[in-house]
Amino acid sequence: MASRKETSSAPSAVMASVGGSLDSPVKQIQIEGLVVLKIIKHYQEEGQGSEVVQGVLLGLVVDDRLEITNCFPFPQHTEDDADFDEVQYQMEMMRSLRHVNIDHLHVGWYQSTYYGSFVSRALLDSQFSYQHAIEESVVLIYDPIKTAQGSLSLKAYRLTPKLMEICKEKDFTPEGLKKASIGFENMFERGYPIIIKNSHISVLMWELEDKSTVSDKHELLNLSSSNHLEKSLQLLMDRVDDMSQEIVKYNTYSRNLSKQQQQKHQYLQRRQQENTQRQSRGEPLLPEEDISKMFKPPQPPPRMDTLLIAGQVNNYCQNVKEFTSQNLGKLFMVEALQGHN
């Protein structure tokens, strides 16, 4: 997995060497404050604009709680670095952590996102690989844009059991997805409560609060949000255009299939009429033919891409909704302050 590209990882070999899957289900996630700071620092040092950063999450499972106690980033490299071995790099990192008695078991991975643009086939393949090897694996999505506006955005996602079965069977046909009742709204398990536990970071936040000025505090009521909202709507429109193209592909497939069914029906009718006439004249019937070879059905377009696009559109809509809700709250607070003055 390249740290500067949204590519699919191959963690199975690494995780197979550190243990099998765990048994207890996860109901909450506890993250050390140092892990949060490492993720933020990783993006600040290597993240540029829409480019994402990725890394490995380490920890353990205690009862129904997944404890993330450490992490390390995937190093920055380009496609020209053909000699770089990602699996060997992860093995060496975990071996070094084990030597200094630090938790070194895989529990998932993290990735930054650009205006919520993380629902993709690469993320789906990576999370499937992790979750297939270790059942409790999660992916943490860090949004630096929201975090820069004063609210830490860190969310955990897992693939639903139905989607895991579809990915195992690699049956992404419309019939397979319909049979499994898979839609964009039930592709991911979300809503896991995330607890950041670290007394040292609490002390640091208290010290920063004491050093902040009154003018800095008033920045929380800043209403200048047009850039963020405009960019989110632009990305939303781009994905809606992609969805329109997928709809055109599916409509074209439906028309071609219907046209072929009509041609097949007409051919069978002509063949039946010809056999009737031959039978009346006492001639032998036409030889049997393989209709399936003569009329091969067109290949349906892959529906997984459409589901991912729909999921990303839904994610953009939720982001816009949350952002506008915060701005409405600011407007009411500003109105109350003005009335008080």
Model pTM greater than 0.75? no
> Which is more confidently placed, 18 or 104?
104
Domain ranges for the chain: 28-77+84-211, 239-282+292-339
pLDDT in tens, 83-113: 666 667 767 777 777 766 666 688 889 999 8
Considering only CA atoms, which of 185, 127, 130, 184 is closest in space to residue 159? 127
Rounded to an integer, what distance in angstroms lies between the CA atom of residue 179 and that of residue 182? 8
Q: Tell me, which fold does domain 28-77+84-211 have in CATH?
A: Cytidine Deaminase; domain 2 (3.40.140)
> Which is more confidently placed, 35 or 204?
35
Residue 22: the pLDDT is 39
Phi, psi (rounded to 5 degrees) for 231 = -65, -40
Evaluate whether 254 touches 303 at the Cβ level (below 8 Å).
no
What does the buried/exposed string (b/e) look like for 228-264 if buried means 16 or more CB atoms within 10 Å of the residue's CB? beeebeebbeebeebbeebeeeeeebeeeeeeeeeee
Examine the pLDDT at 123 and tell me if it is beyond 80: yes
* Mean pLDDT score across all residues of the chain: 77
Q: How many CA atoms lie within 13 A of 156 on its CB side?
A: 22
Residue 10: the pLDDT is 47
The least confident of 228-237, 266-275, 327-336 is 327-336
